[in-house]
Amino acid sequence: MKTLHWPFLVLFVLGSLLGTTRKPRAVENRALVQVGVALVILGNDTVNAEVARTSQERSKGLMDREEVPDGTGMLFVFEREASRTFWMQDTFVSLDIAFLDSSMAIIDIQQMESGSGEVYDSAAPAKFALEVRKGWFAEHGIVEGLKAEIIFL
């Protein structure tokens, strides 16, 4: 009876181990866009970003936050490339925003002032937008034309 359970125990343990190891995958897998966190790799720097994928999440953005710690931000994911408009209503922290096209190249970077009534339009159609603390992109040498890698966790 003990020998009958031994093979099942080995299969169970192996199955459990294999089922818990998961490699992060890049944006090509559309099903992974349904998660809440992504790593946005920009050259030698990485932003640990909350993902805003629904209209409601995108509208809320980083509103009502007291701070946006270095190395963190919010990644806005859209279904397709289009002109994008952002605003800073009820946002207490000044932010940088990088607009990215479908190839994940940065097409525009802007600085947005907290509490401003101004709207910020992308310079070209964008599929993604990444918000971080104001000044972070310049401090890290992140410029237009740089290609990002996005890994949804």
Contact 18, 125 (CB under 8 A): no
**Residue 127: inside a domain:** yes
Q: Do the domain assignments include residue 69?
A: yes
Contact of 51 with 152, CB cutoff 8 Å: yes
Residues comprising the chain, all counted: 153
**What's the CATH number where 111 sits?**
2.60.120.1140
Residue pair 100/75 in contact (Cβ under 8 Å)? The answer is no
User: Does 30 fall in a domain?
Assistant: yes
Instruction: Assess if residue 103 is contained within a domain.
Output: yes
Residue 19 lies in a domain: no
* 51: containing domain: 24-152
Q: Is residue 15 a part of any domain in this protein?
A: no
- The tens-digit pLDDT sequence of the chain (153 residues) is 444 444 433 334 434 444 444 444 444 444 434 459 999 999 999 999 999 999 888 988 888 889 999 999 999 999 999 999 999 988 999 999 999 999 999 999 999 999 888 999 999 999 999 999 999 999 999 999 999 999 999
In a domain, 64, yes or no: yes
Total domains in the fold of the chain? 1
Question: Do the domain assignments include residue 121?
Answer: yes
Q: Rounded to an integer, what distance in angstroms lies between the CA atom of residue 124 and that of residue 18?
A: 43
109 vs 141: CA distance, rounded Å:
12
